[in-house]
Structure 1
């Protein structure tokens, strides 16, 4: 008896990977365009998953680098050039981090997703802590 390879359909427990955007779609996403509905799980993972703050900061700081380098090339004492760079860079980073949730929430809303997804990991962690507390200290006698 020979086995038919088509009959070897064993279900796997691995979740199906979320589809990734193409290079053109990713570039459009970086420039503010919305992605198609089949890429919404990727958008949620990008805005709420691990490393979301790092990706957000990187995307915002990369366009600032040529401006900062240009300021460093202006003739004059190094203290003046460094001061110009710091006067631009420090408030930029402050407001970048202060407005992170607003921008990421806008990203979700512009894709037609629920803005409450932004706090899903924090909400899950708080629920786990509350359940742990209640099981430890509020158990029935």
Structure 2
């Protein structure tokens, strides 16, 4: 599988698109094994310098650690909660339609129609 150059990889991680010949790599990056870990790392690694600044605050060590957690925990929560939305956006951005969130919505819509046909609409 063809991999992006360092410049392309940095651009990709900052939200850019890659050439069409790298679509298999993009698909693997977004949906392959370890994609959830890569997704979380993309959101947390840029925060590390900011979080380390909290260690400069005077006082006991637990105080900066708690301040770091006040930033890190919501970031992790939203990164994990919006992972499928982000993946779908990135796939559409690269011209691919294999969107797991879209497939899930289609199944839900079908189940809703079956329910309404069976029990009527309230």
How would you bin the TM-score normalised by the shorter chain? 0.7 to 0.9
Give, in angstroms, the shift of residue 64 of structure 1.
0.7
- TM-score (norm. length: structure 2): 0.76
Structure 2: state its 5+ residue gaps. 105-122
1:1-141 alignment, distance < 5 Å: 18-114=1-97, 117-119=98-100
Which of 29-38 and 73-82 deviates more?
73-82
Give, in angstroms, the shift of residue 45 of structure 1.
0.8
Larger Rg: 1
d(CA) in 2 for partners of 1:118, 1:45: 13
Instruction: Output the aligned Cα RMSD.
Output: 1.9
SS of equivalent to 1:113 = coil
Runs of 4+ in 1 over 3 A off after TM superposition: none
SS of equivalent to 1:65 = helix
Give, in angstroms, the shift of residue 107 of structure 1.
0.7
- TM-score (norm. length: structure 1): 0.67
Greater helix content: 2
